[in-house]
A = this chain, B = another copy of it.
Amino acid sequence: MLNQNPKFDLMFQALADPTRRAMIDRLSRGPASVSELAKPFDMSLPAVVQHLQALEASGLVSSQKVGRVRTCKIEPEALSQAEQWLNERRTLWVNRLDRLGEYLAATADEEEGK
């Protein structure tokens, strides 16, 4: 299916939960089955699967089932899209600050040299 347009609502929503961030953290170290993913959490399996669904719906994680085990992995492109959204806004702001700094410096120079 390879849907490429970023679903920021779902992505950031998915990232807002500590359980789901822990899952991403785990998956960043390599693929895992559902029950492997569930092991660290004091939580029913259906609860874990619901978190997983949130992660998949957002595109941050994908999975495929072989036999009876579903293996999950990170989708780095999606992570990257969220990253970029933040980066663009931040650099816009920071560059604006820089230009303001230059302007103030220039103005000060003029004052000095007048």
**Interface check A9, CB cutoff 8 A:** yes
A90 and B80 contact, CB distance less than 8 A: yes
In the complex, the answer to whether B17 meets A15 with C-beta atoms within 8 Å is no
Is A8 close to B, CB under 8 A?
yes
Asked whether any CB of chain B lies closer than 8 Å to the CB of A79, the reply is: yes
Q: Chain A: how many interface residues by the 8 Å CB criterion? A: 31
- Interface-facing stretch out of A23-31, A36-44, A106-114: A23-31
- Does any Cβ of B come within 8 Å of A86's Cβ? yes
Say whether, besides A80-B90, A87-B83, A17 and B9 are in contact (CB < 8 Å): yes
Does A70 count as interface, using CB distance less than 8 angstroms? no
Q: Which of A49-103 contact B (CB under 8 A)?
A: 74, 76, 79-80, 82-83, 85-90, 92-94, 96
